[in-house]
Amino acid sequence: MKKLLQLIALFVTIWSTNAQLLDPVKWKTSVEKKSETEFVLVFDASIEPEWHLFSQFTPDGASLPTIFQFKNAKGNYELVGKTKESPYKKVYSDIFEVDEYLFENKAQFRQTIKLTNLKTTTAKVYVEYQVCKEACIQQDKTFDFKLPVTATTSETIPTSTEITEKDTSTIIAVPLITEENKPDRIKNEDVNQELYGLKLFDIKQPSSKTDITSEEKVTEKSSLWRIFGLGFFGGLLALLTPCVFPMIPLTVSFFTKSNGAKKSGGIGKALLYGFFILAVYLLLSIPFHLLDSVNPDILNEISTNVWLNVIFFVIFIFFAFSFFGFYELTLPSSWMNKTTQGENIGGIVGIFFMALTLALVSFSCTGPILGSLLAGSLTADGGAWQLTAGMAGFGFALGLPFALFAMFPSMLNSLPKSGGWLNTTKVVLGFLELALAFKFLSNADLVMHWGLLKIEPFLILWIIIFASLALYLFGKIKFPHDSPLQKLSSFRIIFAVLTAVFAGYLISGFRVNQETKTFTPLSLLSGLAPPVGYSILYPNECPNNLNCFKDLKSGLAYAKENNKPVLIDFSGYACVNCRKMEEHVWSKPEIDKILRNDLVLISLYVDDKKQLPTEEQLEVTRIDGGTRVLENFGHKWAHFQTQFFKSNSQPFYVLFNPKTNQILNTPAAYMPDANEYKSWLENGIKNYK
């Protein structure tokens, strides 16, 4: 299911002609002594305006979390509990489709340690993190803490309301380099030659410079109103079910006749009845606000949980078969008996209980629709307020007809009579619930890499579902509560044909694009179906199924052999703007043609945690001072970017002549304007020729 809300952050990129090394986070450390053997290591981060640092607990598959590694812990001290952090902000990522946890302006991390070797006087901590604005930077720092073993003062740790602690068991840490197995330090020139096949002085400046400046683009959200609209649409669907539709004329007639000659009094009660229907559904969202106040992230933790997606899959299957008529979803009869007794009180209280009774009686039809609304709201940013907006739209759609028909009773004559079409509507909703169920299973499958719902089985399941729906509408399939079908109405035939056409459209998803050697992506299923590269028959790991290299040496060798310039793409698996460029700029036909035919693409992921071969795990000197050990491929490519191009942000694009080791024009960063990016590519290719 598509996310009910796309929250797009404000990104403004202004890139100067000279790339620069960015360091937007300043760290200060301190030590608090609790006892002679226990200390608290404190990390205070000061973050430059507009930049944000990510929490340790930002969900898997999103931006890179902050990771702490305690280098000399073994044999010297043990960690007491998890690394705690100050409260973070929750922001929805439309690229990764999860809520990300981040810090703005400042952050604090605290780790309590207990000495096991009383002679220990220092603690060495390695911190790896990602910081983003319009670009993202992978950073790492090493801190040496001096433990005040002779101090006598004792300080206390802030209370639990000031510090957040969560399970960090899912965080992946890079392998540690100990003093025993640390490779010998060698000169950077030798490192560059050995790892990259290039030396720093080999790189030549652009023969022609092109200044590229991205225009400011702002996309504003209409979150609550959009959720309200979706809830309203769901309420309209619920009106067309056999649980609700017959209640409209009965209830309105009751109100308009109950006051005899006082027509206005009946209308007033009907309006109040409609208002109370709205109020009932608003009240249903209150518990979620209470949960949100206890833990602001609980709704997101629920929604981003893999196993909850599996649970939603099971629930939607259960809802679907209920709509098909194999069983009824009912609430305890005692609930309805209580509300019916409340109706006898009379007055405003009695009308409220009538509205509550309607909500309970119609649950077998409204429950699955509300379940869809709940699932969708929990997977969007905004938590309980999103749900409240959806419930308001749903309740408003249900209550509005009762008020309108009470004000204009003659309109009741225009309503179609109850009949088999109501159950048909319910069955159609069952098919839709069944299709959406597999979207939730797909979410879990993509995150966990189970390989259960790749693009082929997903499309096959949807084809079967919508082909079956078409057959049902044509009268070829029957369900338990279907009335005998005398003849097909025009509306039913039209809807059946449209459904059959949609099933044919799904079949077209198996067309193979001979140029890319993969299936053709279906635009209507964007965000619903798995990506075409997640395939059994035509797997492809490169963006947009382009041909790409993920190793510099082999990519440069191929480019030399084929006499083509190189596009070095410094990217990241957790880089939001990298995905935006790939999905919204690289996918343009005019850009795709250039990338596919005129360039050799080398994509280097600076957050790749795959461990380097032992012989490549070298200690190098940073360009801004200090040393680091290249432990994984991400370290290798990040070091290459900073050493050769004096930049550490992603995305970062370099057009390069592999024969002369010459930069063809000014490297570019995030550039959301496709025409601007095309001009930049063409300029570099022209300089190459």
Task: Find out whether 577 and 542 touch, Cβ atoms under 8 Å.
Answer: no
Confidence of residue 458 (pLDDT cuts 50, 70, 90): very high
Residue 415's pLDDT is: 62
Check whether 569 has a pLDDT greater than 90: yes
pTM beyond 0.85, yes or no: no
Check whether 590 has a pLDDT greater than 90: yes
Measured CA to CA, the distance from residue 459 to residue 466 in angstroms comes to 11
Mean pLDDT, the chain, whole residue set = 74
Handedness of CA 13, 381, 375, 238 (dihedral sign): negative
Check whether 365 has a pLDDT greater than 70: no
Bridge partners of residue 110, in order along the sequence: 42, 84
Residue 380's pLDDT is: 44
Residue 31 Cα distances to 42, 106, 108, 153, 161, angstroms? 6, 18, 13, 12, 21
Check whether 243 has a pLDDT greater than 60: yes
Cβ-based neighbour number of residue 245 at 10 Å:
22
Check whether 192 has a pLDDT greater than 50: yes
Write the pLDDT tens digit of every residue in 391-420.
Answer: 888 888 888 887 777 676 666 666 666 566
Helix (H) or strand (E) holding 89: strand 89-93
Residue 3's pLDDT is: 39
Residue 345 carries which DSSP code?
A: T
Domains and CATH numbers, the chain: 25-132 (2.60.40.1250), 243-418 (no CATH)
Write the pLDDT tens digit of every residue in 37-70.
Answer: 899 999 999 999 889 999 988 877 678 889 998 8
Q: Which two tokens stand for residue 318?
A: 């259960």
- Range of lowest pLDDT (163-172, 349-358, 379-388, 603-612): 163-172
For the chain, give the percent of residues with pLDDT over 70: 67
Residue 242's pLDDT is: 62
pLDDT, average across residues 103-129? 90
Write the pLDDT tens digit of every residue in 628-645.
Answer: 788 888 888 888 888 888
656-682 burial string, b = 16+ CB within 10 Å, else e?
bbbeebbbbbbbbbbbbebebbbebbe
